[in-house]
Amino acid sequence: MSRYAIGVDFGSESGRAVVVDVADGRQLATAAWSYSNGVIDERLPIEQAVPLKPDWALQDPEDYLRVFRETVPAVLRQAGVDAEDVIGLGIDFTACTMMPTLADGTPLALLPEYRANPHAWVKLWKHHAAQPEADRINETAERTGQAWLPKYGGKISSEWFFSKALQILDEAPDVYARADRLIEAADWVIWRLTGVETRNATTAGYKALWSKGEGFPDRGYFEALDPRLADVVDAKMSREISPTGDRAGGLTPEAAEWTGLRVGTAVAVANVDAHVSVPAATVTEPGRMVMIMGTSTCHMVLGEEEHLVPGICGYVEDGIIPGYFGYEAGQSCVGDHFAWFTEHAVPESYQVEARQRGLDIHVLLQEQAGLLAPGESGLLALDWWNGNRSVLVDAELGGLLVGATLATTAPEIYRALIEATAYGTRVIMEALETNGVPVNEVIACGGLADKSPLIMQIYADVTGRPFRLSASDQTPALGSAMFGAVAAGADAGGHATIEDAARAMARLKDLTYEPNAEATAVYDVLFREYVRLHDYFGRGENTVMKTLRGLRARAKAGEV
């Protein structure tokens, strides 16, 4: 008798569910649903239409629950799977994506008195307006010699939990005071499904400065940051952190009604989209990096030992696979980069041709960019349109394009942007290897990896490493289903460990992008130039990007 698990993956723009056979990982059906309110970055989606400042990115918590209602019944129906045969459910989420709630889990954004306050809403991972708070967190950590700081590459990001929490406190102290809980959206969703408030080890470890050995930073540190923040962990969070793979609880009757699943179906502790993809991409051992390539890219690699790697997002013991240190790095602008380009910089003639030929504009641009040899565009870019996560950890950096001439074409720029993201990846790989964490091969997953042979080949050529692809087109959701199968346990027909689940359920495609030595030789030259610009603009020698950002903010605020 077949047993099934369901995985639900919450992305930046949409959520998607898969139903998977726990015996072999076969995906029987998938369904996606785009959030009604998507990424909220201009104004709140309410009657008053409250405008947002630059760098804000919010979401609507109700969109997350709609994902369950819209997708889970759909995949059951499509797959013809009986809810009785579904033994477990797992979810993964973008992170840090967090919100303030009441003690019963009600998001403050749903309360009429807070609905027009942007700070009551969910702060999406790419909300970058908490940079001043991140700066303070870093300065205070340096000043007080916090031992955890070097583990996060020496600098924490504006995207992370305490940056966002502190921004709420700074700018909306009433919201902060009213918030009984500050919680990752990932954990909030599990709370809604099971009625049990848990805190997952992955977001706690990678985004909220928690570690298995040391717990959270101590009260004195938070007090030094802001006296009102001294008790944030005990008052609004929790010190009980649930390990990856654990069962959070069973579905409540209400959640069973949303999903069409049995009451009591095992629900795994929440996880992060990138991290959950690692075993789903067959990786449960060191040396093979998993890259999850979507709007942004996460780079995950396991290590047997503890190493400090400057500028990575962090490493967490047991953070990905129990028994290993899970190293995470990231690039904040990858698919977003190409999407920006097609929206803001591609001439009409290409759009017309794409329509006439029935092609997606990206397919057309990649077709033309693919005709170019390495170096032929004459262009080099710094892929910092959305700042730099690894290894500079600086959201206030900006994009750069150099080498344009009057003969420069859109496909040339497009290729230069692809190459720039590949150089960014190579910087991360070299930082890891230099510091003792080998990266011999890459397993890529996510929409960009599946859809873009050109991008994969450029990445292989630029990094000089083979790139393989996860067989699933829904790797995170598959990973979540795998954790759902582990939460259900072997006795219920699931799996005892994530390694067991990976062996049974994870696959690679029969396709390898091998680096081309001639191309790599050209890219070596370009990469040296990239690194030089990277260091010049990114490490403080020329701070023009920050000056520009400051002037822009002043102008937008009407101060000039």
CB of 540 to its own copies, least distance (A): 14
**Span from 190-198, 222-230, 271-279, 531-539 in contact with its own copies (CB under 8 A):** 531-539
Residue 265: closest CA among 281, 247, 277, 282? 247
The C-alpha atoms of residue 275 and residue 291 are separated, in whole angstroms, by 10
Q: CB-wise, 34 or 408, nearer to its own copies?
A: 408
Q: Looking at beta carbons only, is 402 or 496 nearer to its own copies?
A: 402
Pairwise CA distance, residues 418 & 183, whole Å:
35
420 contact partners, CB below 8 Å, separation of at least 6: 337, 380, 381, 382, 383, 530
CB of residue 369 to its own copies, shortest distance in Å: 13
* Min CB(75)–its own copies separation in Å: 32
549 touches its own copies by CB under 8 A:
yes
Q: Is the dihedral of CA 110, 114, 118, 120 positive or negative?
A: negative
399 binds its own copies (CB under 8 A): yes
Task: Note whether 379 binds its own copies by CB under 8 A.
Answer: yes
Name 98's bridge partners.
123, 184
Nearer to its own copies, 41 or 430 (CB): 41
Exactly one of 130, 189, 346, 486 binds its own copies (CB under 8 A); that residue is 346
According to the binding rule CB under 8 A, does residue 403 interact with its own copies? yes
> Helix axis angle, 361-369 relative to 410-434, nearest 10°?
80
Cα Rg of the chain (Å, integer)? 23
Are β-strands 4-10 and 86-93 bridged in parallel, bridged antiparallel, or unpaired? Answer: parallel
What's the full length of the chain, in residues? 560
> Is residue 442 a contact residue for its own copies (CB under 8 A)?
no
Residue 54 found at the interface with its own copies (CB under 8 A):
yes
Helix, strand or coil, per DSSP, at residue 220 = helix
Considering only residues 152, 315, 327, 385, which one is a binding residue for its own copies as defined by CB under 8 A? 385
Site for its own copies contains 369 (CB under 8 A): no
Minimum separation from the CB atom of position 422 to its own copies (A): 16
Size of the site for its own copies (CB under 8 A): 59
Alpha helices by DSSP H, listed for 260-328, are 273-280
89 is a contact residue toward its own copies (CB under 8 A): no
Q: How far apart are CA 190 and CA 186, in angstroms?
A: 7
Interface residue with its own copies among 47, 104, 405, 510 (CB under 8 A) is 405
Considering the complex, what minimum distance in angstroms separates the CB of residue 361 from its own copies? 10
Q: Which DSSP string corresponds to 165-186? A: HHHHHHH-HHHHHH-SEEEEHH
Binding of residue 402 to its own copies (CB under 8 A): yes
Pairing of strands 122-123, 58-59: antiparallel
Residue 386's closest CA among 437, 423, 436, 421? 421
Residues in contact with 313: Cβ distance below 8 Å, sequence separation at least 6, in sequence order = 152, 153, 157, 206, 328, 329, 330, 389, 390, 393
Nearest-angstrom CA–CA distance, 531 and 129: 27
Among 28, 111, 363, 401, binds its own copies (CB under 8 A): 401
For 236, the token pair is 């609004």
- 123 binding its own copies? (CB under 8 A): no
| Nearer residue to its own copies within complex by CB, 263 or 525 | 525
**One-letter amino acid of 215:** G
**CA 250 – CA 194 distance, rounded (Å):** 5
Cα–Cα dist 7/543, whole Å: 44
Binding span for its own copies by CB under 8 A among 136-144, 244-252, 404-412, 452-460: 404-412
Nearer to its own copies, 438 or 447 (CB): 447
Whichever of 511 and 521 has its CB closer to its own copies, that residue is: 521
Q: Where does this chain touch its own copies (CB under 8 A) — which range of 3-11, 261-269, 450-458, 551-559?
A: 551-559
Q: Does 532 bind its own copies (CB under 8 A)?
A: yes
The H or E element that residue 392 is part of is: none
Q: What is the distance between the alpha carbons of residues 341 and 347, in angstroms, rounded to a whole number? A: 10
In the bound complex, what is the minimum distance in angstroms from residue 57's beta carbon to its own copies?
10
- Phi-psi label, residue 300: left if phi above 0, alpha if psi -120 to 50, beta otherwise: beta
Do residues 271 and 316 touch, judged by C-beta distance below 8 A?
A: no
Least distance (Å) from its own copies to the CB of residue 379?
Answer: 7
Q: Which is nearer to its own copies, 46 or 404 (CB)?
A: 404
Sequence letter at residue 135: D
Among 340, 353, 363, 504, binds its own copies (CB under 8 A): 340
Which of 154, 215, 398, 464 forms a contact with its own copies (CB under 8 A)?
398
392 binds its own copies (CB under 8 A): no
Contact 491, 547 (CB under 8 A): no
Residue 53 near its own copies by CB under 8 A: no
Assess 371 for contact with its own copies (CB under 8 A).
no
Site string for its own copies, 490-529 (x = CB under 8 A): ----------------------------x---x--xx--x
Choice between 111 and 339, CB closer to its own copies: 339
Q: Is 539 in the site for its own copies (CB under 8 A)?
A: no
Tokens of 280: 């789903």
**What is d(CA 494, CA 496) in angstroms, rounded to the nearest whole number?**
7
Considering only 26-34, 276-284, 371-379, 463-471, which stretch makes contact with its own copies by CB under 8 A? 371-379
Between 372 and 508, name the residue whose CB sits nearer to its own copies: 372
Q: Which residues bind its own copies (CB under 8 A)?
A: 54, 333, 336-337, 340, 343-348, 351-352, 372-380, 385-386, 398-410, 413, 518, 522, 525-526, 529, 532-533, 536-537, 542, 544-545, 547-549, 551-552, 554-556, 560
